[in-house]
Amino acid sequence: MTYFKRFLIIFICGIVQIFYAAYLLLNLFGYSVDWHISNHSVFMFIPGILVFVSSGILCASYYLGDRKTNNILYDEYTALRYYKIAAVGYALNGIGIFILFSIQDWANWNFQSANDMIYQIAAFAWLTFGVLLTIFSVGDYKEHKNG
């Protein structure tokens, strides 16, 4: 594993999450999109599957990779960058979910409203963590350019 390979894995994972979040948000706000992912509900699992696959690749490279390379790739600077970005992500996600719950019209609640709120929460989480994964991957790209 190199900084560039890790950059590619994390960047692609983040961009796919941003893409799906944008698609869901456009549909939720009533904008018609010419192509429809939601007609094939299996495709809506792609961001989650991509997160599991990329996490598996990164874990395998850490545990099965060369110790010297791992010491360079997974150093304290990378861990600190990851923890800071993850803390921001969980804070933003918690605030966003609180706001989504707060703006619901509970008097006229029905299954469609519940389904829309679930999509809103999923889209917001995908957008938040997709953007943060992309930001994290930019740090790996900078390390690749510097090294």
What pLDDT score does 53 carry? Answer: 92
C-alpha dist (Å) from residue 121 to 14, 28, 63, 131: 17, 11, 33, 15
What pLDDT score does 119 carry? Answer: 79
The answer to whether 100 touches 117, Cβ cutoff 8 Å, is yes
Average pLDDT for residues 87-93, to the nearest whole number?
88
How far is it, in rounded angstroms, from Cα 89 to Cα 142?
21
Nearest to 129 by CA among 77, 67, 85: 85
* Phi and psi torsions of 109, nearest 5°: -75, 135
Q: What is the pTM of this model?
A: 0.76
